[in-house]
Amino acid sequence: MSQTPSQIRFTAADAASLPLPPGRRSAEVFRHGTLELRHYAPHGHDPQTPHDQDEIYIVISGTGRFRCGSVEVPFGPHDMLFAPAGAEHRFLDFTDDFATWVAFYGPPGGERP
């Protein structure tokens, strides 16, 4: 299968300009099989609720803290953060320039450890 450059390379600037679908807080950038890549840039607070797939966040810009379950860690640009399916998680005390890629993947309920 032949792919065009716009199907294999995604920039944060392009993703940030995508419209948010009604009822969503992140813009879908890419989908393939169970993988869904989104751009997430909350303002003020992060109102997330648990998701039914495993998630990986790759921080684009900004700093703050990430809480997943009872664990809380600082984060900054280029950090990778993981939230298993069903886990309470959110970003806290983040800077105004905070933005992240979020990748949802795997079956509902998450991958087996």
**pLDDT at position 1:** 45
**pLDDT at position 5:** 58
Residue 106 backbone zone (phi > 0: left; psi -120 to 50: alpha; other: beta): left
Which residue stretches of the chain have pLDDT < 50?
A: 1
CATH 2.60.120.10 fits 24-105, yes or no: yes
Sign of CA dihedral 77, 39, 6, 84: positive
Distances 70 to 34, 56, 59, 94, 110 between C-alpha atoms, Å: 28, 18, 21, 18, 19
Residue 13 is inside which H or E element, if any?
A: helix 12-16
Proportion of the chain in helix, strand, coil states, percent, rounded to 5: 10, 40, 50
Report the predicted TM-score, pTM, of the whole model to 2 decimal places.
Answer: 0.90
Of 74, 70, 31, 71, which Cα lies nearest the Cα of 53?
A: 31
**pLDDT at position 33:** 94
Residue whose pair of structure tokens reads 């997943």 in the numeric block: 68
